[in-house]
Amino acid sequence: MVSVMLSNEGQELIFRNARSYSYWLDRPVDDGLLRQVYELTKMGPTSANMCPLRILFVKLREAKERLKPALDAGNVNKVMTAPVTAILGMDVRFYEKLPQLFPHADARSWFKDLPEPVLEYVALRNSSLQGAYFMLAARSLGLDCGPMSGFNNAKVDAAFFAGTTIKSNFLCALGYGDASKLYPRSPRLTFEETCQII
Ligand SMILES: Cc1cc2nc3c(=O)[nH]c(=O)nc-3n(C[C@H](O)[C@H](O)[C@H](O)COP(=O)(O)O)c2cc1C
């Protein structure tokens, strides 16, 4: 039984005070911290423990320049000024790692002959969940996030994942956000608008 819960301060950090950032302070993010973000991210649950998420951390100027032509105009500055932008991708042949990841059953056989659109659907669902774990992990370590889907997936895939079975899902800039440039928080739906208990 779980007998502890996250402190109010922790909840503020991950949820209530966490925002989506577009502007970044001039403060670097070291590679060790990116590793820590992954070490937390990987613990979140996925179907049959398939873990389809693959992450490319774009940090160097040259790598950012490769990403730039795929970005919607409104996202160019956000990526070019962020210390790091993670390309959150998904391996659509995720089932090849199931003998390692789900060793107590032949889970590979459940997926390997499924049609491509079904594999993509499964990979998208599970890598999107992992993308959410990734943002919560980053925030729990004091980083800020700037998630983005405003980009051309085919261009990103050609530039970074050619010849692989990985496809891009979404981007997430990481760093220390400039809170002075935030818009006021937009409203959220209430419990009554969203939920039913039956
Ligand atoms: C999957 C995803 C895609 C998004 N795409 C973009 C984007 O392309 N450009 C952008 O400026 N913001 C983008 N956003 C940011 C959202 O607009 C933002 O998270 C939302 O308005 C809530 O803002 P808040 O976190 O500051 O409350 C995206 C967010 C998510 C989760």
Q: List pLDDT tens digits, range 10-30.
A: 999 999 999 999 999 999 999
Share of the chain above pLDDT 70, in %: 99
Mean pLDDT of 140-168: 98
Residue closest via CA to ligand 1's atom 4 equals: 148
Query: Within 13 Å of residue 131, how many CA atoms lie on the same side as its CB?
Result: 24
What pLDDT does residue 73 have?
98
Contact present, 168 and 157 (Cβ < 8 Å): yes
pLDDT at residue 1 tops 80: no
pLDDT tens figures, 58-74? 999 999 999 999 999 99
C-alpha distances (whole Å) from 54 to each of 11, 60, 88, 141 are 27, 19, 6, 20
**Pocket perturbation via mutation, ligand 1, pick of 79, 149, 156 by most ligand atoms within 8 A of CB:** 149
pLDDT tens figures, 73-96? 999 999 999 999 999 999 999 999
pLDDT at residue 32 tops 80: yes
- Give the chain's mean pLDDT: 98
Query: Within 13 Å of residue 172, how many CA atoms lie on the same side as its CB?
Result: 27
pLDDT at residue 2 tops 80: no
Query: Which band of pLDDT confidence, cut at 50, 70 and 90, is reported for residue 47?
Result: very high
pLDDT tens figures, 51-60? 999 999 999 9
Residue closest via CA to ligand 1's atom 12 equals: 148
Query: Which band of pLDDT confidence, cut at 50, 70 and 90, is reported for residue 3?
Result: confident
Cβ(17) to ligand 1 under 6 A? no
